[in-house]
Structure 1
Amino acid sequence: MREAAFVKQNKDKWLRFESVLSNNTTIDPDELSDLYIEITDHLSFAKTFYAKSNTEHYLNQLASQAHQKIYKTKKESKNRLISFFKTEFPLLFYYHQRELLVSFLVFSLFVIVGAYSAATEVDFVRSILGDAYVNMTLENIENNDPMAVYKKMGEFNMFLGITINNIKVALMAFAYGILCGIGSLFIMLQNGIMLGSFQYFFYEKGLLWESVRTIWIHGTFEISVIIIAGCSGLVLGNGMLFTGTYTRLESFKRGVINGLKILISTIPFFIIAGFLEGFVTRHTEMPDWLAILIIAGSLSIIIFYYVIYPRQLHKKQNLISNKSN
């Protein structure tokens, strides 16, 4: 059966089931269980014949929501946030690894462009970072404290200011996705060039390692989630461009919702990045091994949560679905 025919044949059932879940309608548990079994049957069929399609994604979300509703407890409302980060979001993000890869590759490309431009154009770094910042950093280097910029503000004020600023950048990366995703890629371009020129500036001064072991204490989380925010904008843009079996409006709504969920997932990491920049990065006297441990730990958390864990959870859910069938 062609996918369009399969959707047409079962769409009314799915919409009714989705309405029951979305509106928290109270129905007989046995009836809900029967509906759940039917949905998982359809999901199994879609996985077999329409793998990686929007139909499979939609049914997978329905099945996940139904499972949560059937087995919910009185503490469910308190655990909603935990459930989002533990189950709902990772299952969703499994289907958006491609957008994450595109965001990462574009960002990385323009890091290289930024570094190359800084190496070949004398005033490029000043045009990107500004004269005030460059002059201040040169003065700090002369005073044998090149990372002094992270010590000028109070810990809490820096933490708060940096966190708010980073969340603003993430919101822009998402919102600009409305421009068919191009706006989000532009934000990746801007930040990539800035990072590349910034790192080359310290390399040119013979301070590459000093900058890396200091800046990436907070930068690992910060840069990673900016890239993920770019991914959220691409999801929004894709919802407008690639409708699949949905109407353009339905596809756009799904793009907005899924993009927002991805954006929301970054907030805790932005807070952690802000905390590290405000309270930890300033301690430039810390031993290299400790800085490396923080950087490696941060990178491991990001890779696990956004790449490995969604795959593990998706695989686990497939096994559960197959057993129930």
Structure 2
Amino acid sequence: MTRPADIDEAVNAALLKSDRFRLERESDWLRLEAIVTAMEKGRLRRVSDEDLLALPQLYRTVASSLSIARAISLDAATLEYLEALTQRAWFVVYGPRSSLGSWLKGFLGGGWSQAVRGLGIDLALALAVMVAGVIAGWFLVAGDVEWYRTLVPGQFADARVPGASPEVLRATLFGQSEQDGLGAFAAYLFSNNAGVAIMAFALGFAFGVPTLMLLVQNTAVLGAMLWLYAGAGLTLDFAAWISVHGTTELFAILLAGASGLHIGRAMAFPGERSVLAAAADAGQRAAQVMAGVVFMLVMAALLEGFARQLVDNTPGRMGIGFCMLMVWTAYFFAFARGRRGAGDGA
């Protein structure tokens, strides 16, 4: 049977061991806590260079102390203190260096547009392929009408079929805001283009070849429908109808395709780097572009779901589409380039 004196002796020994453990290491703990507290409060200037250089080592020291304290079963108060201090120090040493707001400011304020301009020749190649796809779709259908049914999804080829009268085709563009047909077609266009954008980027790892094929196939659908409406004398009306969201959505597909090609070209021509290293470098830039593509697709969805339904005339639709195209072009090229030039001059 354990005597009370033995219990008291064991408790005193444990307390002594805990006190000795704390005294041997407490100076490092307090130093780290002071540094972490100052950085958490945004008072980085109050932290000396010596403390900043010592921060990683102090973090490892406290993490080691926590591990030892758990192993020898120190008192709960010491364990709780070390766990909290280790967590706080981890966020200071390894955590994100900026808030979401500051990241967005940097991303939209130049990071995204700089990444897009960095695509260079891949952007021009993707644009050329998309234009070629539209032309190919037009001439395929013009040469053989059966190609129209091959290219255009069957569930949307109800009134929009070769041989339909101009009145019927015009009715699919105007006065349809309360009907299901146009809404379903608009939803299809968005979901299809969003899927194409994601696939165009993802397939870039196959040296960009599937990306090129996907861009051609997708824009060939647009070329086929453009041929259909042009035959009914509704070229401008159809272009205005598609431009409301299309100038944003197709621009997003262009960027996604260029991102995929950027990765594929880096893998095919890695230069002095390894294939994996080249793909990783290109992937960082492409991933930043794709983060913006998601934003563009959301914008396109809003334009498609509201602006196109509320504006039921060709000039208004054309104005919206043209303005969006100018906004994206200026943001990615003119505006950012002007800022860089001004900075260089200074």
The TM-score normalised by the length of structure 2 is 0.64
Change (3 A) 1:303 1:147: same
**Aligned-residue offset at 1:243:** 2.1
Conservation of the 8 A alpha-carbon contact between 2:173 and 2:241: yes
Change (3 A) 1:108 1:235: same
Comparing 277-286 with 213-222, which one deviates more in the overlay? 277-286
Conservation of the 8 A alpha-carbon contact between 2:256 and 2:290: yes
Change (3 A) 1:203 1:230: same
Comparing 220-229 with 306-315, which one deviates more in the overlay? 306-315
SS in 1 for 2:149: helix
* Identity across the alignment (%): 22
Quote the Cα distance in structure 2 between the aligned partners of 1:262 and 1:291.
27
Matched with 1:175 is 202
Change (3 A) 1:235 1:290: same
Q: Does 1:296 align with 2:322?
A: yes
Conservation of the 8 A alpha-carbon contact between 2:169 and 2:229: no
Change (3 A) 1:259 1:86: same
Amino acid across the alignment from 2:106: S
Amino acid across the alignment from 1:253: A
Matched with 1:107 is 130
Comparing 177-186 with 87-96, which one deviates more in the overlay? 87-96
Question: Aligned match of 1:212 in 239, 242, 245?
Answer: 239
Q: Does 1:189 align with 2:212?
A: no
Amino acid across the alignment from 2:322: A
Give the 5 Å matches for 1:215-254: 215-254=242-281
Conservation of the 8 A alpha-carbon contact between 2:243 and 2:318: no
Amino acid across the alignment from 2:254: I
Quote the Cα distance in structure 2 between the aligned partners of 1:180 and 1:78.
36
Change (3 A) 1:264 1:75: closer
Give the 5 Å matches for 1:53-68: none
Matched with 2:286 is 259
Quote the Cα distance in structure 2 between the aligned partners of 1:262 and 1:163.
19
Matched with 2:159 is 136
Change (3 A) 1:163 1:142: closer
SS in 2 for 1:96: coil
Conservation of the 8 A alpha-carbon contact between 1:217 and 1:291: yes
**Aligned-residue offset at 1:316:** 4.4
Give the 5 Å matches for 1:77-92: 77-92=100-115
**Aligned-residue offset at 1:201:** 0.9
Conservation of the 8 A alpha-carbon contact between 2:245 and 2:301: yes
Matched with 1:38 is none
Conservation of the 8 A alpha-carbon contact between 1:181 and 1:238: yes
**Aligned-residue offset at 1:314:** 4.1
Amino acid across the alignment from 2:275: R
The TM-score normalised by the length of structure 1 is 0.68
SS in 2 for 1:243: coil
Matched with 2:75 is none
Matched with 2:35 is none
Conservation of the 8 A alpha-carbon contact between 1:147 and 1:211: yes
SS in 1 for 2:171: coil
List runs of 5+ in structure 2 lacking aligned partners: 1-46, 54-96
Task: Report the count of equivalent residues.
Answer: 252
Amino acid across the alignment from 1:242: F
**Aligned-residue offset at 1:309:** 3.4
- Cα RMSD of the aligned pairs, angstroms, is 3.2
Conservation of the 8 A alpha-carbon contact between 1:232 and 1:259: yes
List runs of 5+ in structure 1 lacking aligned partners: 1-25, 33-73, 321-325
Quote the Cα distance in structure 1 between the aligned partners of 2:274 and 2:169.
62
**Aligned-residue offset at 1:212:** 1.3
Question: Aligned match of 2:121 in 60, 79, 98?
Answer: 98
Structure showing greater relative contact order (alpha-carbon pairs closer than 8 Å, 6 or more residues apart): 1
**Aligned-residue offset at 1:167:** 2.7
SS in 1 for 2:172: coil
Amino acid across the alignment from 1:237: G
